[in-house]
């Protein structure tokens, strides 16, 4: 029986996959990402934002107790 040949992946594909994994890790593992891991994961996995843009967005978001369902929306009268 002949040995099975594994499907090959080009070097360009490997590089693209590695770059994407590094982008995701940089967003999630950043200081801003650690403060809000749920949003960091969403931005990393569901957007094509670069690391600097994602970190900038995460730094502007404040999560607090009693916040409304939309970030930055206050419940009740002002």
Q: What is the pLDDT of residue 11?
A: 82
Question: Sorting pLDDT into bands at 50, 70 and 90, what band is 7?
Answer: low
Is pLDDT of 66 > 50? no
Kindly state the average pLDDT of the residues 62-73.
Answer: 51
- Return all residues near 56 (Cβ < 8 A) that are at least 6 apart: none
Question: Sorting pLDDT into bands at 50, 70 and 90, what band is 45?
Answer: very high
Is pLDDT of 73 > 90? no
**Alpha carbons 75 and 66: distance in angstroms, whole number:** 7
Q: Which two structure tokens, joined as six digits, stand for 52?
A: 């600097």
């Amino acid at each position: 029986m002949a040995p099975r040949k594994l499907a090959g992946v080009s070097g360009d594909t490997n590089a693209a996959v590695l770059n994407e994994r590094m982008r995701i890790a940089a967003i999630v593992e950043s200081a801003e990402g650690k403060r809000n891991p749920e949003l960091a994961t969403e931005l990393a996995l569901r957007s094509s934002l670069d690391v600097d843009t994602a970190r900038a967005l995460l730094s502007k978001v404040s999560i607090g107790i009693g916040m409304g369902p939309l970030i930055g929306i206050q419940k009740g009268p002002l």
